[in-house]
C-alpha cells in the first residue's frame, strides 16, 4: 500500500491530481486513450488548484526559452503554411503535450513520491513487456516473423512498441549498472533488463535495436565502463557475423508419392521465387539477378537492373521479371537480354498474370490492367481500388483484399471488370483469399476455409484446422498445393470440394518463399536475410523508401527554406517532388531532422535543435549533480540513455511527431527534473539547519 501512504497527508485536490497521474503513468506503454485521460485530468486539476489557491505550482525547468522558440516556429510556419488549417491542428497537438513536463514535475513533493511514480510506470511497463513476449512466442511458434517481417501489434504498432520498450529497457539497464549498494536491486534490475530487451528484440524493428544500442553505449560511456563498452562492441560484431544469411533452391521428387529432397542449390542472392519457362526454370534471386536452371543446375545468371523479386512466363522464350523498385522488365531467354520495361504509377503490392492479361494492384493508385504486355502503353485503370494489398483472378471474377479494408470481388467479361465490385464485410480478420474452382479459399489463425459466394454473403462450406495461416496457394493441373506458416506442404485434389481432405506431404526444412511443380518435382525457394545486415542493404525496400523520402524532403526544403510548408501531412506534397520510380508515399519523412526542415524550415529546425540540445545538457547536468546518490543517479542515467536513444531513433523515424514517443520524452524529462529539484531543496534545507 506504499502508493497510498506516499500521498496520505496530501489535500483533496492533490490526491485527485495524484489519481489522474497514476492513470497517466500506468498507461504510458499500453493505452493512448487512458493516457490522455490521466494527463488532461491531472492538468485540469492542477489548474483548478492554481485558481483556487492563487499559488503557481509550476516551477521553471530551464527549457522555457527553447519551448517558446519551438512554439513560435510552429505559429510562424502555420501562418505561412500551404495548408494553414491542417498546420494549426497539428500545432495544437504539439503544444498541448508540452505541459506534460510541468504536470509530472508539479504533483510529487517528496523523493518518496518520485519513487512511487517511477515504480508505477516501471511496473506497468514490465507487465506490458510480459504480455508482448507472450504474443511474440505465439508469433515465433507460428513462424510469422518470416511471413510479416515484424513482431506482433499488441498495444501499438511494433515500431512504436520498440521505442517505448527502449525506454523501459534502458531504465532497467541504468539501475543494473549504477546501483551498487543493494544486491537485491541489481538482481531484479538484471532480470527486468533481460525481459525488456527480449521484448524489444521480438518487435523485429531495427530502429528500436539501433536506439537501444546507442542508449546502452552512452550509459556505459557516462559511467566510464570501458571494459563493458569493449565487451558490448565485441558482442555486437560477433552477433552480426553469426547472423548468417543463406539462399536455397530445393528440389523434391514426387514420384510414387515419396517426397524426398533430391537436390539443393545455394545462390549468392536471395531466392525469392521460381517459375517455369518451357523445360527450364527461372529463379528471381534478388540482388543475385535471375538464374536459369536446367536439370536441377544453374546454367546461367543474368544481371537485372535492380533486385529481382518474382516473374512469370509469356511464351517459351519470353518472361517478365518483377523488380524490387516495382518495374516489370521483359526478358528474352534465348538471347538473355532485356528488351523492354514498364511500370505502374503507384506502389505495387501484388500482381497476377492470367489469360494473357496482367493485373497490377497498387496500394495507393488502385488497379491497373495491361490487356497486352507487349503493348504496355495500353492500360485500363480502376483508381478507386486503393489501400488493398493482395489479389487473385479466375475466368469470371477478380478479387482484391486487405486486412485493413476487407474483400472486394468484381465480375469479369473478357478479363475486364464490368461492375464496381461487390464488397463483403466482416472479412478483415482473414488472411488473403484465393479462387478455388467456383469457390474461395482463405484462412485465419485457427482454420483454412472453403467458402461459397451467395449474393451478399460468404458461406462457410467446410474448414480444416490443420492448414491454418495459409501463405501459398499453388494451382496445378490436377491438384492444388497449399503451404501454411508452419512450413507444412499439403495437396488437395481438384475433384474435392472439402478442404479438410487436403493431404499432408512434408514439412520444409526452411520457410517457403515460393513453390513450383514441374514434371515429377516440387521446387521450393527459401532464403534468410540477416536482419542486422539489412540495415545497410541499399536495395532493402524499407531502406530504399527512406532514402527516397529524404531526397524528396530536401527538394521540398529547397523551395520552402525559411519557415517550411507548415506542420502538415506531407503525402500529397511529397508525391509532387518524388521521382517517378519512387513509389512509396508517406505523410512524413521517416526522419526527425529532415521532416522538421520540411515543415518548419531553417528557423524551426534551429529552434528544435536548440530545444533538444538544451534537454540533453540539462539531463547531463542532473546526472552529474546526483551521480553519487542511489536511485536518483540511476533515474537520471536512465533518462539520459532514453533521450539519446530517442535522438538516434529519430534518424530513421518521425518519432518527434509520434504521440506515444514524445509523451515518453516529456514524461521522463519532467520526472528527472522534479527529482533533482526536490533533491536540491532538501539539500538546501539541511544546509540551512
User: Which residue, 186, 193, 59, is CA-closest to 122?
Assistant: 193
More confident position, 414 or 583: 414
The full set of domain ranges for the chain reads 2-223+538-688, 429-514
- Specify burial of residue 685 (Cβ count, 10 A radius: 0-12, 13-18, 19+): exposed
Phi and psi of 341, rounded to 5°?
A: -140, 155
Cα distances (angstroms) measured from residue 367 to each of 114, 314, 351, 460: 56, 21, 9, 28
Convert the pLDDT of each residue in 263-281 to its tens digit.
Answer: 888 888 888 999 988 888 9
Share of the chain above pLDDT 90, in %: 43
CA neighbours closer than 13 Å in the CB half-sphere of residue 292: 21
Residue by residue, DSSP assigns 624-660 as HHHTTSTTHHHHHHHHHHHHHHHHHHTTTS-GGG-HH
Q: Give all strands of the β-sheet with 280-284 in edge-to-edge order.
A: 273-277, 280-284, 290-294, 297-302
CB neighbours of 203 closer than 8 A, spacing ≥ 6? 132, 150, 151, 158, 159, 161, 162, 165
Cα 37 to Cα 109: distance, rounded to the nearest angstrom: 22
Q: Which of 511, 643, 654 shows the shortest CA–CA distance to 160?
A: 654
- What does each C-alpha distance from 354 to 32, 255, 359, 650 come to in angstroms? 46, 29, 8, 44
- What pTM was estimated for this model as a whole? 0.84
371 to 343, 401, 415: CA distances (angstroms): 14, 22, 8
pLDDT digits (tens, 9 = 90+) for 40-65: 998 999 888 888 877 777 888 889 99
Between the alpha carbon of residue 638 and those of residues 254, 323, 635, the distances in Å are 59, 44, 5
Q: Which residues contact 618 (CB under 8 A, 6 or more apart)?
A: 61, 62, 63, 669, 673
Strand 439-443, strand 434-436: pairing: antiparallel
**Top-confidence range, 297-301, 383-387, 645-649:** 645-649
Does residue 23 surpass a pLDDT of 60? yes
Least Cα distance to 26 among 15, 39, 40 occurs for: 39
The C-alpha cell at 36 is: 490522455
**pLDDT, mean of residues 531-555:** 81
The answer to whether the beta carbons of residues 73 and 602 sit under 8 Å apart is no
Other CB atoms closer than 10 Å to residue 347's CB: what's the count? 17
Q: Residue 686: is it exposed, middle or buried by C-beta count within 10 angstroms (0-12/13-18/19+)?
A: exposed
Structure confidence at residue 651 (pLDDT): 94
Overall CATH class of domain 429-514: mainly beta
Mean predicted confidence (pLDDT) in 296-313? 89
Amino acid at each position: 500500500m506504499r502508493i497510498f501512504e506516499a500521498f496520505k497527508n496530501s489535500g483533496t485536490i492533490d490526491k485527485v491530481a495524484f489519481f489522474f497521474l497514476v492513470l497517466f503513468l500506468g498507461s504510458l506503454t499500453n493505452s493512448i486513450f487512458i493516457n490522455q485521460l490521466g494527463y488532461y485530468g491531472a492538468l485540469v486539476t492542477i489548474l483548478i488548484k492554481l485558481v483556487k489557491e492563487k499559488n503557481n505550482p509550476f516551477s521553471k525547468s530551464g527549457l522555457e526559452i527553447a519551448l517558446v522558440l519551438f512554439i513560435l516556429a510552429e505559429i510562424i510556419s502555420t501562418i505561412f503554411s500551404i495548408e494553414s488549417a491542417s498546420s494549426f491542428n497539428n500545432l495544437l497537438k504539439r503544444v498541448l503535450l508540452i505541459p506534460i513536463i510541468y504536470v509530472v514535475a508539479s504533483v510529487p513533493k517528496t523523493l518518496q513520491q518520485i519513487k512511487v511514480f517511477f515504480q508505477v510506470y516501471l511496473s506497468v511497463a514490465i507487465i506490458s513487456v510480459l504480455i508482448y513476449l507472450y504474443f511474440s512466442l505465439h508469433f515465433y511458434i507460428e513462424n510469422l516473423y518470416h511471413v510479416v517481417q515484424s513482431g506482433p501489434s499488441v498495444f501499438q504498432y511494433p515500431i512504436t512498441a520498440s521505442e517505448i520498450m527502449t525506454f523501459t529497457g534502458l531504465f532497467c539497464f541504468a539501475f543494473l549498472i549504477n546501483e551498487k549498494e543493494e544486491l537485491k536491486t541489481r538482481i531484479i534490475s538484471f532480470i527486468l533488463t533481460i525481459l525488456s530487451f527480449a521484448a524489444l528484440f521480438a518487435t523485429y524493428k531495427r530502429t528500436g535495436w539501433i536506439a537501444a544500442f546507442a542508449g546502452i553505449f552512452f550509459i556505459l560511456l557516462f559511467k566510464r565502463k570501458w571494459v563493458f563498452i569493449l565487451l558490448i562492441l565485441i558482442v555486437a560484431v560477433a552477433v552480426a557475423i553469426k547472423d548468417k544469411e543463406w539462399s536455397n533452391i530445393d528440389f523434391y521428387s514426387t514420384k510414387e508419392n515419396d517426397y524426398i529432397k533430391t537436390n539443393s542449390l545455394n545462390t549468392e542472392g536471395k531466392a525469392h521465387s521460381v517459375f517455369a519457362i518451357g523445360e527450364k526454370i527461372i529463379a528471381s534471386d534478388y540482388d543475385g539477378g535471375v538464374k536459369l536452371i536446367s536439370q536441377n543446375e544453374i546454367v546461367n545468371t543474368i544481371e537485372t537492373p535492380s533486385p529481382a523479386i518474382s516473374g512469370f512466363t509469356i511464351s517459351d522464350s519470353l518472361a517478365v521479371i518483377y523488380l524490387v523498385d516495382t518495374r516489370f522488365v521483359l526478358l528474352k531467354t534465348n538471347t538473355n537480354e532485356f528488351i523492354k520495361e514498364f511500370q505502374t504509377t503507384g506502389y505495387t503490392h501484388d500482381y497476377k498474370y492470367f489469360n494473357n492479361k496482367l493485373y497490377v494492384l497498387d496500394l495507393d493508385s488502385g488497379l491497373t490492367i495491361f490487356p497486352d504486355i507487349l503493348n504496355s502503353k495500353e492500360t485500363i485503370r480502376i483508381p478507386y481500388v486503393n489501400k488493398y494489398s493482395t489479389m487473385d483472378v479466375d475466368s469470371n471474377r477478380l478479387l482484391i483484399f486487405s486486412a485493413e479494408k476487407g474483400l472486394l470481388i468484381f465480375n469479369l467479361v473478357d478479363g475486364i471488370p464490368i461492375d464496381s465490385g461487390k464488397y463483403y464485410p466482416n472479412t478483415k480478420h482473414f488472411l488473403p483469399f484465393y479462387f478455388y474452382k467456383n469457390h474461395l479459399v482463405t484462412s485465419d489463425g485457427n482454420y483454412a476455409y472453403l467458402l461459397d459466394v451467395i449474393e451478399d454473403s460468404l458461406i462457410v462450406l467446410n474448414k480444416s484446422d490443420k492448414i491454418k495461416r495459409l501463405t501459398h496457394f499453388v494451382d496445378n493441373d490436377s491438384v492444388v498445393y497449399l503451404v501454411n506458416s508452419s512450413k507444412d506442404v499439403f495437396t488437395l485434389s481438384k475433384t474435392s470440394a472439402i478442404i479438410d481432405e487436403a493431404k499432408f506431404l512434408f514439412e520444409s526444412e526452411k520457410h517457403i518463399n515460393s513453390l513450383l511443380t514441374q514434371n515429377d518435382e516440387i521446387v521450393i525457394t527459401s532464403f534468410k536475410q540477416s536482419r542486422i545486415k539489412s540495415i545497410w542493404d541499399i536495395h532493402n525496400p524499407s531502406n530504399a523508401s527512406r532514402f527516397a523520402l529524404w531526397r524528396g524532403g530536401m527538394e521540398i526544403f529547397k523551395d520552402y527554406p525559411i519557415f517550411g510548408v507548415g506542420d502538415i501531412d506531407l503525402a500529397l506534397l511529397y508525391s509532387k517532388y518524388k521521382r517517378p520510380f519512387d513509389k512509396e508515399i508517406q505523410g512524413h519523412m521517416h526522419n526527425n531532422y529532415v521532416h522538421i526542415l520540411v515543415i518548419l524550415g531553417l528557423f524551426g529546425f534551429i529552434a528544435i535543435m536548440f530545444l533538444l540540445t538544451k534537454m540533453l545538457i540539462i539531463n547531463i547536468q542532473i546526472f552529474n549533480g546526483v551521480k553519487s546518490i542511489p536511485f536518483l543517479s540511476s533515474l537520471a542515467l536512465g533518462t539520459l540513455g532514453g533521450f539519446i536513444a530517442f535522438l538516434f531513433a529519430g534518424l530513421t523515424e518521425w518519432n518527434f511527431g509520434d504521440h506515444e514517443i514524445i509523451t515518453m520524452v516529456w514524461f521522463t524529462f519532467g520526472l528527472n527534473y522534479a527529482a533533482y529539484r526536490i533533491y536540491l531543496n532538501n539539500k538546501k534545507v539541511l544546509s540551512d539547519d
